[in-house]
């Protein structure tokens, strides 16, 4: 059974990961039940398994994201159908489920979808002891969970820092059928097509993609930027982009539409230094679109051979340099390198690794 906050129609990597792993668990003969918050309660049978929506609280400044507040209702659901393994996807607001799992003897797995210090860095004052505070939280989390699943070396580092020994690294995957290269006209004399796919919120640093476009123009490189995604900073970013060739598409619910837009770009920009994996980055690579990623965060771990992408500093000028470096690589070579990098991460590998871990954890619990 999986329990997750922040699961909404406009959710990014979290929703994709839960849907894909749920679908994969079913193919392996396991039943997956997902409990998430929503505006109203409901029970649905989906291709990824049963989804139980419990009425949750909408948090200010987070758009349509909600959190589970009806603890009694969630506990009743768990008591009615005790799972073999309970997976939680939120570090702070689901800690209370550890008490239920201990009492019932159900193993608890924390699937770490975020790195606390990276997310909070832009939201706390400089004097705040961020590292000490997040180390305290992560030390407690590692003690409460039977196992912690991380998706990257960057994600694992915060648990290694506190000496956690129950951490397992399992990378996410990519839908290589939906996200794939398409035939289109080469750049030629047209403007360079840039794209970014991201939540428009402070920790993602989307303004850096806009500023990169501005620098390219100042240096004489004609380019245009497509922004896919929505969030609390959307209006601020539209104001920042005034006078620049930037198209804001908002959230696109059709994954094939996203893939088509990304595949038609020459370079994809992913400026967030807080990514614990970089699913949108991996999807761009699968489309054969090379990427520019920052030195901080996990996205750089996804790069493959020369031409698949460039690690830049976090300045607009550094990103612009990276774009121009990629454009120096022949298009056929850079698109092939990007696709090859993504092909190392099929969802089947992710699911197989998770199934193995959960079967092992579940059987170990049954022998207690």
Over the stretch 15-69, which tens digit does the pLDDT of each residue have?
A: 999 999 999 999 999 999 999 998 888 999 999 999 999 988 887 666 667 888 8
Residues 337 and 351 reside in one and the same domain = no
Q: Do residues 158 and 22 both lie within one domain? A: yes
| Predicted local confidence at residue 186, as pLDDT | 65
| Separation of alpha carbons 19 and 55, rounded Å | 20
Asked if the structure places residue 263 within a domain, the reply is yes
Same domain, 154 and 137: yes
Task: Please check whether residue 125 lies inside any domain of the structure.
Answer: yes
For residues 40 and 172, give the distance between their C-alpha atoms in angstroms, rounded to a whole number: 30
Number of domains composing the chain: 2
Whether residues 209 and 144 share a domain: the answer is no
pTM for the whole structure: 0.93
Residue at 184 is within a domain: no
Say whether both 98 and 237 belong to one domain: no
Long-range Cβ contact pairs of 242-249 (< 8 A, separation 24 or more): 244/210, 244/213, 244/214, 244/217, 245/191, 245/213, 246/210, 246/213
Q: Are residues 18 and 90 in the same domain?
A: yes
Examine the domain organization and report whether 33 and 67 are in the same domain: yes
Kindly report the backbone phi and psi dihedral angles of residue 261, in degrees, each rounded to the nearest multiple of 5, phi listed first. -65, -45
Task: Find the CATH number of the domain harbouring 296.
Answer: 3.40.50.2000
| pLDDT single digits (tens) 186-222 | 666 799 999 999 999 988 999 999 999 999 999 999 9
Same domain, 143 and 203: no
Q: Is 314 helix (H, G, I), strand (E, B) or coil?
A: coil
Domain extent at residue 226: 192-342
The rounded percent of the chain whose pLDDT value lies above 90 is: 77
Q: Tell me the pLDDT tens digit for each residue of 247-265.
A: 999 999 899 999 999 999 9
Q: Region 111-140: what's the mean pLDDT?
A: 88
DSSP one-letter string for 140-175:
HHHHH-SEEEESSHHHHHHHHTTT---EEE----B-
**For 329-346, what is each residue's pLDDT tens digit?**
999 999 999 999 999 999
For the cut 70, the answer to whether the pLDDT of residue 279 exceeds it is yes
Does residue 99 fall inside a structural domain?
yes
Residue 183: its pLDDT value, please?
79
């Amino acid at each position: 059974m999986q329990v997750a906050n922040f699961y909404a129609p406009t959710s990014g990597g979290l929703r994709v990961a839960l849907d894909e792993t749920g679908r994969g668990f079913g193919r392996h003969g396991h039943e997956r039940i997902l409990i998430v918050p929503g505006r109203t309660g409901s029970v649905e049978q989906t291709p990824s398994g049963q989804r139980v929506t419990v009425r949750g609280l909408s948090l200010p400044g987070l758009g349509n994201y909600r959190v589970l507040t009806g603890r009694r209702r969630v506990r009743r659901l768990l008591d009615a159908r005790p799972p073999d393994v309970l997976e939680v996807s939120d570090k702070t607001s689901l800690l209370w489920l550890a008490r239920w799992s201990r009492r019932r003897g159900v193993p608890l797995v924390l699937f770490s979808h975020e790195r606390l210090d990276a997310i909070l860095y832009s939201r706390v004052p400089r004097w705040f002891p961020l590292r000490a505070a997040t180390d305290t939280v992560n030390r407690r989390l590692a003690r409460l969970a039977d196992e912690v699943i991380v998706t990257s070396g960057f994600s694992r580092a915060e648990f290694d820092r506190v000496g956690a020994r129950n951490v397992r690294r399992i990378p996410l995957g990519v839908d290589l059928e939906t996200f794939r290269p398409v035939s289109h006209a080469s750049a030629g004399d047209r403007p360079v097509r840039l794209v970014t796919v991201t939540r428009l919120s402070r920790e993602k640093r989307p303004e850096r993609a806009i500023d990169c476009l501005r620098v390219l123009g100042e240096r004489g490189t004609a380019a245009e930027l497509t922004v896919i995604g929505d969030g609390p900073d959307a209006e601020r970013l539209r104001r920042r982009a005034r006078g620049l060739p930037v198209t804001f598409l908002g959230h696109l619910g059709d994954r094939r539409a996203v893939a088509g837009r990304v595949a038609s770009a020459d370079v994809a920009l992913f400026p967030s230094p807080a990514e614990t994996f970089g699913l949108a980055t991996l999807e761009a690579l699968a489309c054969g679109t090379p990427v520019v990623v920052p030195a901080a965060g996990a996205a750089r771990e996804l790069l493959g051979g020369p031409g698949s992408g460039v690690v830049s500093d976090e300045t607009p000028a550094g990103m612009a340099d990276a774009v121009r470096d990629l454009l120096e690589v022949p298009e056929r070579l850079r698109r092939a390198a990007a696709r090859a990098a993504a092909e190392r991460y099929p969802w089947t590998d992710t699911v197989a690794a998770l199934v193995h871990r959960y079967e092992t954890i579940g059987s170990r619990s049954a022998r207690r």
